[in-house]
Amino acid sequence: MTDLDFFPPIEPYDSGYLKVSDLHEIYWEQSGNPDGQPVIFLHGGPGAGASATHRRFFDPKHYRIVIFDQRGAGRSRPLGEVEENTTAHLIADMERLRQMLKIETWQVFGGSWGSTLALAYAETHPERVRALVLRGIFMCRESEVNWFLYGLRSFFPDIWDKLVSPLDEEERQDILRAYHKRLMHPDSAVHMPAARAWSTYEGSCSTLLPSPETVAAFGQDTMALGLARMEAHYFLNGVFLPPNSLLDNVDRIQDIPGTIVQGRYDCVCPPVTAFELRDAWPKVEFVLIPDAGHSAMEPGIRKALVAATEKYKDLA
């Protein structure tokens, strides 16, 4: 194991684009052991995209590591496209990818929005999921979205002020719609400043201690546009699921082994949501990291996630 509690960097042995509609094609890659236990990594956001670092949560000698960028995110095309982009579409994309790769069942790993999509997928296709490794639990309920847009001000008032500084007083009463309007504007001179402001806000609140590297990553154009547009789109549409759907249907995954890793001081996705999921899913392993925020790159969270993927090596 490296000094970062990660496995060494690796390159994909296979990658490409899967056309999932007339409009969308998604980037996918495989790394690690071609004959190994399949695991699929679900990135956050929605819209954040995946990176080479995400391969390193998994032992490449054991796992067949599948990573893809969801519709409108990262290397998938077109970037920032919200048409034909719903939770149901993303679940269907995962199934197309699984079938194309001739995988019967796989471990599903996701944090933040990745935990949302992982739960939605597992509740739809429980027979395809060997295990769930979830981090920074987010169920995209109205209360959670309101916390993100208003509640975070309690801990990050200076950062929140930067988020709302482009908005007039009336717009600040509905930050989501005000930003959605700017983010969907066709002129990049309008949507890119809004995207950077939104994405940088999230990055600035994601770590226990200030992390200029995290903020810089969230401010990059591809990340910012994909993240901000997709989040505003999904948040405004209630994640395209009935209210509280993920918690109401947790009985569908009761027999799937699972681990939740949650930062005690996660301000983006406060721990109360993870505790609600734990209480509804008695068999799940629950790991509360006492000195961590939201980011998967926090040392304690990183170590616990790797420990979980190591634990599930023994699954048949």
Residues forming the active site: 112, 266, 294
Nearest to 68 by CA among 37, 104, 109: 109
The CA distances from residue 234 to 32, 62, 83, 296, in Å, are: 32, 35, 11, 22
What are the residues whose beta carbons fall under 8 Å from the beta carbon of 236, sequence distance 6 or more?
A: 176, 177, 180
What are the residues whose beta carbons fall under 8 Å from the beta carbon of 162, sequence distance 6 or more?
A: 197, 200, 201
Sheet of strand 37-42, all strands in order from the earlier edge strand to the far edge? 14-19, 25-32, 63-68, 37-42, 106-111, 129-135, 258-263, 285-289
What is the DSSP code string of 222-253?
A: HHHHHHHHHHHHHHHTGGGS-TTHHHHTGGGG
Angle 175-183/142-149 helices, nearest 10 degrees? 80
What are the residues whose beta carbons fall under 8 Å from the beta carbon of 166, sequence distance 6 or more?
A: 182, 193, 194, 197
Q: Look up residue 43 and give its two tokens.
A: 């990135």
- Please give the single-letter amino acid code of residue 300: G
